[in-house]
Chain A
Amino acid sequence: EAGVVQSPRYKIIEKKQPVAFWCNPISGHNTLYWYLQNLGQGPELLIRYENEEAVDDSQLPKDRFSAERLKGVDSTLKIQPAELGDSAVYLCASSDSGEQFFGPGTRLTVL
C-alpha cells in the first residue's frame, strides 16, 4: 500500500514569491493534516481536515497561508507571499481516525 505522497520534496524560492505544496493521503483516509517543522523542533499542526472540511485551522497564519482539500482527497497548502521565516519542512499526514501516517515532507528554503 502506498504511503502519504508529497511533492515537491524540495523547493527553493526567493522571498515574496508564492509557493504551493501538494499532498496525496493514503487511500481511504478521511483525515488529513498539515504540519510545520522548523529546524530542531517537533512538528506543529497548521490545519486538520475531515473530508473536505477544515475542522481545525487555528494555527494557520491566514494572512499568507491557505489550504484546500477539494473532493476530500488531495490537498494543497499555499504560501503567498513567502517570507524568510517560512523556511522549514512542511509535513502532511493522514489517518482513518486512528494512527497518523506521515509523508516525507517538503523542505522549503526561502532566500
Chain B
Amino acid sequence: AQSVTQLGSHVSVSEGALVLLRCNYSSSVPPYLFWYVQYPNQGLQLLLKYTSAATLVKGINGFEAEFKKSETSFHLTKPSAHMSDAAEYFCAVSGTGFQKLVFGTGTRLLVSP
C-alpha cells in the first residue's frame, strides 16, 4: 500500500523567500511521486512528477523536488516565492504508474508581500 504525509497544513512565506513544502511517502514498491497545485475553485494541476529517472525533478513555475529514497521524502522547493504561488499543494504517490494516485492532505501556501 502507498501513502504520503504532508507536514504542515499551512506554510507562510514572504514574497521572494524560499518555499519548502514537505512530503514523506510510504510505498511497498518503487514509487511514482507527484506534486499538484490547486488554486481556489479550480481543479488540480500537475507541477512535476518523479518516475524513477533523475532524482531532481524540475517542474513548472520554477518549482522542483528531489527524490530521496534514504529519507523517503519528496520535498517541493522554489527559490523565490511569488504572490501568485499562493495555493493548495498536494503530494501524491502511486505504485502503478499514473493511475492509482494516493494524495496527501495538502499544504496551503500563503505568500505575504
Check if B41 sits within 8 Å of A45, measured CB to CB: no
**Count, A-B residue pairs, CB within 8 A:** 51
Majority SS at the chain B contact face: loop
Check if A45 sits within 8 Å of B101, measured CB to CB: yes
Majority SS at the chain A contact face: loop
Chain B: how many interface residues by the 8 Å CB criterion?
A: 20
B31 within 8 A of A: no
Interface positions, chain A 2-43, Cβ under 8 Å from B, are 3-4, 9, 31, 40-43
Q: How many Å lie between the Cα of A91 and that of B45 in the bound state?
A: 12
Check if A43 sits within 8 Å of B44, measured CB to CB: yes
Check if B103 sits within 8 Å of A31, measured CB to CB: no
A85 within 8 A of B: no
Check if B105 sits within 8 Å of A44, measured CB to CB: no
Q: How many Å lie between the Cα of A57 and that of B89 in the bound state?
A: 26
Check if A42 sits within 8 Å of B98, measured CB to CB: no
